[in-house]
Amino acid sequence: MIDNITLFDCTAREVGYQTGWFFDPAFLRDYYRFVEAAGYDYMELGFFHNPEADPGRGAIRYCGLCTEELNDIFGSTKNILKLSAMRDIQRPLAPVGPKADSVVDAVRILTRSKQTEPDVLCRHIEELQKLGYRIFINFTSAGRNTVEENTAFARLAKKMGIDVIYFADTESIFTPKYVSDAIELCRAEGVEAGIHLHNKNGTAEELLDVAFAHKCRYTDSTLLGLGGKWYDGNIATEYLLKHFNYNPGYELTRLKTMLIQQLIKYHEHSAAVL
């Protein structure tokens, strides 16, 4: 945590669209150490996806079924930095085992805002709570949500004991007013709003500054700002490190070079769409 802000680095999950979620174990371990040293709270690996629906991907695409492999990658490296993965409840799912058996600490439930069925969402929350995970909810394609819809989402989260919900700017249409309203209305309902910004039109940094001005305490980033199914990019981890006056020196250059090497090595497995 930096300046009381909880930070997720989503590089592996987001850039996974370009590598098919294949990464060398050495890169994942080195990147874990880098993000931990920078003061981040979570490194997000990938998804709990069903391999029958999307076969031939790397282990972090199937976090629910690759527990042993992930333990081998992170077991000797994992320290205070927590690991997370996403559970996309509108897509084919694989089972999630108990937290006690996994290196994954937190699950971020991904639900498309306009497709959210409250009863279904609540069932997933209850299941994951029983398994022992810290739970966050990510409402994606949230830019066209009304104030009333976001208020209803905040009230549902409060009812279910979820203290943080994220709004994802999947289409890069958030405005400064949308960001400030989302943060304030959630806080009025007793939950915090996190902001996950994409950067198709180059306004993500401006919007993040608005979020911080309104005391937003939860946000995400990726190295080089890379990632996304449509190559739409994210807030760059480098931008946040500079914002918080942290200079990682040569290690940042080394990790950026390693990431580019991963993109070249695994490019043929890309799931991204131009």
199 assigned to some structural domain:
yes
The CATH number for 185's domain is 3.20.20.70
Q: What pLDDT does 122 receive?
A: 97
141 assigned to some structural domain:
yes
- What digits encode the pLDDT tens for the residues 188-233? 999 999 999 999 989 999 999 999 999 999 999 999 999 888 888 9
58 assigned to some structural domain:
yes
91 assigned to some structural domain:
yes
- What digits encode the pLDDT tens for the residues 93-146? 988 999 999 999 999 999 999 999 999 999 999 999 999 999 999 999 999 999
Structure token digits, residue 229? 């199914």
Q: What pLDDT does 124 receive?
A: 97
Give the C-alpha separation, 47 to 229, whole Å.
Answer: 14
Whole-number mean pLDDT of the chain?
A: 95
1 assigned to some structural domain:
no
Q: What pLDDT does 226 receive?
A: 96
Q: What pLDDT does 228 receive?
A: 86
239 assigned to some structural domain:
yes
pTM of the shown model: 0.95
Number of folded domains that form the chain: 1
Give the domain extent around 153. 6-269
Give the C-alpha separation, 263 to 155, whole Å.
Answer: 41
94 assigned to some structural domain:
yes
16 assigned to some structural domain:
yes
Which candidate, 47, 92, 86, 90, places its Cα nearest to that of 65? 47
